[in-house]
Amino acid sequence: NGDDLSTIKNYTHARYKQPNPDFFGVGKGKNLIIISMESTQSFVIGKTINGEEITPFLNHFIKESYYFDQFYHQTGQGKTSDSEFLLDNSMYPLGSGAVFFTHVNNSYQTMTKKLVENGYHTASLHANNKSFWNRDLMYKNFGYHEFFSMSNYNISGQNSVGWGMKDIDFFDQSIDYLKELSPPFYTKLITLTNHFPFELNEEDRFIDEFNSGSEVLNRYFPTVRYTDEAIKLFIEDLKKEGLYDDSIIVIYGDHYGISANHNKAMEQFLGEPITRFEEVQLQKVPLIIHIPGMKGETISNISGQIDLRPTLLHLLGITSKRDIQFGTDLFAKDSKDFVVLRDGSFVTEDYLFTKETCFKKDTKEVVNMSHCEPYKEQAVNDLNYSDKIIYGDLLRFSNQDK
Ligand code: GP9
Ligand code: MN
């Protein structure tokens, strides 16, 4: 009830981080263009297959952007939809099931609604059936003005592979919609080609497959490379259309693509054994934020998808101080260096906790649980409070976004 909500509100407000004045509002009035990269994990960044870069464009783009190299996905069974939930709400998805299906009628105080209140036109673009993951209903609830889905794209056998429309064609057709939106706009574009089982036509294979015992891992690299190419072309189009300098561009990975079933092959690629410690580290996904006129740098604070909402709102000059959110601004001066994964694992500056085991990060050694204990309480509280809001639909008692 309302009392529970005020307890949680106090808890999250106590954790609020003041935005850094050097970043607050640097993107005021600019468009926000978010690209959600299907199944793209950080371990491919800066790496090569037979001497060829796996993500040549991202490697280049990172140099002129803010790149978060210790950024984790926090999704559960709801996969892409969970990452969308994290982005819009700065709350955890559920420990089982997909909140997009189970709690589609709840009250939410989304980033999208705040952008709408601030004069933004908002749209999600994804070339799949609109009801996949219940998106059509959840997007309405979240406040998106428009959803460009399968029926808004010209999809043919020619421009499809695996799960559907190829990313290059998806971006190529999406730019026509972006051009027509009245600024400032917020658009989220969700890629698809790098989806399990990572199928690709020969002519779209810009690099070799890997050579290991896992066909899945072998195929993963050319499909990641294909999406990298698609994003490169999209950024070129944004420049051509004059949208590039007026937009904050955010690129992030939605969740892992290679499961622990492929650890043996993954060991071959990484050249080191995959322990429980490494398994958690492999949950890192790229986060790249390009801000026009700013040089960028690599930031190594421990962070996760839950931090996107406050970070992006603050860049656009929109305060989130009174909101209930579990993440914090990644540009804050005293950033929190803490991330909780949906399975209860967590990572701090010095320690990593998973499967009831505490590791010291620099030595990767198992250490006494007492080192992780102080953070464990916060991790458990975070997940419990967030779940409580969802299961009790507690935000219906809040009028903070008014
Ligand atoms: C489907 C796409 C992929 O629309 O978002 O879904 P996933 O299986 O990654 O959650
Ligand atoms: Mn996905």
Q: What distance in angstroms lies between residue 192's CA and the mean position of ligand 1's atoms?
A: 7
What integer best gives the mean pLDDT of the chain?
97
Q: What distance in angstroms lies between residue 21's CA and the mean position of ligand 2's atoms?
A: 34
Q: Tell how far CA 252 is from the center of its chain.
A: 5
Pocket test for ligand 1, best of 34, 81, 133 (most atoms within 8 A of CB): 133
The Cα–Cα gap between 91 and 251 comes to 20
How far CA 12 is from CA of 8, 19, 35, 71, 142, in Å, comes to 6, 15, 28, 20, 21
Q: Which runs of E-coded beta strand occur in 15-173?
A: 31-37, 48-49, 52-53, 66-68, 71-72, 121-125, 146-148, 160-161, 164-165
Local confidence band at 79 (pLDDT 50, 70, 90 cut-offs): very high
The CB of 134 under 6 Å from ligand 1? The reply is no
The Cα–Cα gap between 306 and 378 comes to 15
The CB of 80 under 6 Å from ligand 1? The reply is yes
How far CA 235 is from CA of 133, 229, 391, in Å, comes to 28, 10, 40
Ligand that comes closest to the CA of residue 101: 1
Amino acid at 219: R
Pocket test for ligand 1, best of 73, 75, 87, 132 (most atoms within 8 A of CB): 132
Local confidence band at 204 (pLDDT 50, 70, 90 cut-offs): very high
Ligand that comes closest to the CA of residue 167: 1
The Cα–Cα gap between 339 and 306 comes to 9
Q: What distance in angstroms lies between residue 73's CA and the mean position of ligand 2's atoms?
A: 11
The CB of 99 under 6 Å from ligand 1? The reply is no
Local confidence band at 297 (pLDDT 50, 70, 90 cut-offs): very high
Catalytic-role residue among 80, 187, 193, 311: 80
Mean pLDDT of 34-58: 98
What is the C-alpha R_g of the chain?
A: 20
SS3 content of the chain, % helix, strand, coil (to 5): 40, 15, 45
pLDDT digits (tens, 9 = 90+) for 125-156: 999 999 999 999 999 999 999 999 999 999 99
Q: What distance in angstroms lies between residue 123's CA and the mean position of ligand 2's atoms?
A: 18
Ligand 1 atom with the smallest distance to the CA of 81 is 10
Q: What distance in angstroms lies between residue 196's CA and the mean position of ligand 2's atoms?
A: 9
The CB of 128 under 6 Å from ligand 1? The reply is yes
The CB of 195 under 6 Å from ligand 1? The reply is yes
Between 335 and 326, where is the model more confident?
326
Give the model's pLDDT for residue 358. Answer: 98
Does 400 have pLDDT greater than 60?
no
Does 264 have pLDDT greater than 60?
yes
pLDDT digits (tens, 9 = 90+) for 227-250: 999 999 999 999 999 999 999 999
pTM over 0.90: yes
Q: Whose CA is nearest to atom 7 of ligand 1?
A: 80
The Cα–Cα gap between 30 and 402 comes to 23
Q: What strand order describes the sheet that includes 351-354? A: 338-340, 346-348, 351-354, 357-360, 365-367
The Cα–Cα gap between 275 and 324 comes to 36
Known catalytic residue at 80:
yes
Does 2 have pLDDT greater than 80?
no
The CB of 101 under 6 Å from ligand 1? The reply is no
The CB of 301 under 6 Å from ligand 1? The reply is no
Mean pLDDT of 246-259: 98
Interface ipTM: 0.98
Mean pLDDT of 278-296: 98
Could you give the percent of the chain with pLDDT greater than 90? 97
Closest CA to 297 of 72, 67, 60: 67
Q: What distance in angstroms lies between residue 79's CA and the mean position of ligand 1's atoms?
A: 7
The Cα–Cα gap between 389 and 113 comes to 18
Does 370 have pLDDT greater than 70?
yes
